[in-house]
Amino acid sequence: MAENILTEFDGFFFLGLGGVSMSALAEILYKSGKKVGGYDREESEYTAQLAGAGIPVWYGLDCRIDDYEVIVYTDALQENNPLIMRARRLNKTLISRGKLLYEISRTFKKTVAVAGCHGKTTCTAMLAHIFDAAGAAFSAHIGGNDGKFNNAYLNGYDYFVTEACEYKKNFLYLKPDVAVILNSDADHLDCYGTVKNLKKAYLQFAESAESTVKLYGDLPEFGGVTFGFDDRADYYAKRIRSANGKFSFDAYEGTNLLGGIALSSYGKHNVLNALAATAAARRCGIEFRHIAEGLKSFKGVKRRFEEIGSYNGAVCIADYAHHPNEIKAAVKTARLITEGELFVVFQPHTYSRTKTLFKQFVLVLSSIKKLMIFKTFAAREYYDDAGSALTLSGAVKRSLYGGCETDIENFLKAATRGDTVLFLGAGDIYDIARGIVLE
């Protein structure tokens, strides 16, 4: 095995420390005894959390990267970033976030990596709860805030449970013992160009693992262990029941009934996430009783169908959904628990995604009677009218366009007790919603 950067160096400085993955990796290194520091443009809950733990954090370009040997950078930064250019002049060792995740994974006996267009964070957190219930020596890197483990957890080196992001093919750095592919739906086509190229990357990810768990019927050219609603899958569910949006079911392993599972998280789609977690845990030799206990203890991840308060008596829920299939699942779950009207505020995430999946967005959003499409969260992109929220709103009948918080407040004036308000999107809509709801 090649030399690991973690054994070569002791000091790591993170450029873009406030990201959910970057902050998690920084915390893992810090708790493992490394010297860690970081920079971001502005304070966030993650930078504040790390600063409170004793990690030096800078918000200006005068940060002390000179004191660290390795500079870790996020993909959001360009090559002409002044801090990256400064690090090169100082002959620092630079490593991307994705490559560092791989280096960290190599320090564990076994790695379980969860990939897919949607469900990664939930399934990864589910697995963390399962390993915890089993009393395993494990650590976790989660792409969101779990109620118990937050986004990072270090408690042993037998297992490493990690989210594997397909953006810019980052997940191909990993060489997991168990690879979980929840789905290979089209996304990040700004990176891959075509669905064919995206599928090819998922196949490469599957082939890199000792064992693969995948959705039944997906990537049919690759074998692996399968999960799904179809009883031809290796792991499937029967007697699926719903109570106020939370599901329970009997889990099967082939023709063998493993037992009952009761979920504490909302949505039928989480039955699939739970089956995937079950299959992966079984690949690691975890007994079913611990799997059922762990899944029961998992109550959801922040911004994954999270109840954030009320507005005019209406229950307000925030969800990270930013892909048409995710929106469909979130709306379906919201309708299950709504007594009155359902109000939806959706913020598109990136112009390129909206432009590439425009027809799919129009189709799923057109089924919503009370809908506001809020201005696009551009992230790393420049304005593109063809993929803008305004253009999307114009294509969806009955929808309103929102350009500011006041527009949302005016839209929600008609909401009342018994109704549900669903805030959807991966951008700053979450903070905007909390500001409106909590005032």
At 205-260, the pLDDT tens digits run: 999 999 999 999 988 888 899 999 999 999 999 999 998 888 999 999 999 999 99
Tens of pLDDT, residue by residue over 153-194, are 999 999 999 999 887 788 999 999 999 999 886 665 567 778
Answer yes or no: is pLDDT of 37 > 70. yes
Proportion of the chain above pLDDT 70, given as a percent: 97
φ/ψ (deg, to 5) at 20? -65, -40
Residues of the chain with pLDDT > 90, as a percent, come to: 75
What's phi and psi for 129, nearest 5 deg?
-65, -35
Element (H, E) at 249: strand 246-253
- pLDDT of 169 reads 86
Average pLDDT over residues 140-147: 93
Q: What pLDDT, on a 0 to 100 scale, did the predictor assign at position 1?
A: 42
User: Could you give the count of Cα atoms lying within 13 Å of 235 in the half-sphere of its Cβ?
Assistant: 26
Residue type, 394: G
CA distance 284 to 222: 21
How does 236-252 read in b/e, with b if 16+ C-beta sit within 10 Å?
A: bbeeeebeebbbbbebb
Residue 313 burial (C-beta neighbours within 10 Å; 0-12, 13-18, 19+): exposed
Q: What's the rounded mean pLDDT across residues 423-436?
A: 92
Which residues lie closer than 8 Å to 160 by C-beta, 6 or more apart? 104, 105, 107, 108, 110, 111, 112, 138, 139, 140, 141
| pLDDT confidence of residue 186 | 61
Relative to beta strand 57-58, strand 306-311 is: unpaired
Task: Give the CA distances from residue 397 to residues 160, 318, 364, 372, 407, in Å, rounded to whole numbers and listed in that order.
Answer: 47, 23, 12, 11, 18
326 and 346 in contact (C-beta within 8 Å)? no
Mean pLDDT to the nearest integer, 346-369: 94
3-state DSSP assignment of residue 265: strand
Give pLDDT tens digits for 250-297: 999 999 999 999 999 888 889 999 999 999 999 999 999 999 999 999
Q: What is the band of 101 on the pLDDT scale with cuts at 50, 70, 90?
A: very high
- Which residues, in sequence order, are CB contacts of 49 under 8 Å at separation 6+? 23, 150
Most confident of 71-75, 168-172, 409-413, 427-431: 409-413
Q: How would residue 336 be classed by pLDDT, with cut points 50, 70 and 90?
A: confident
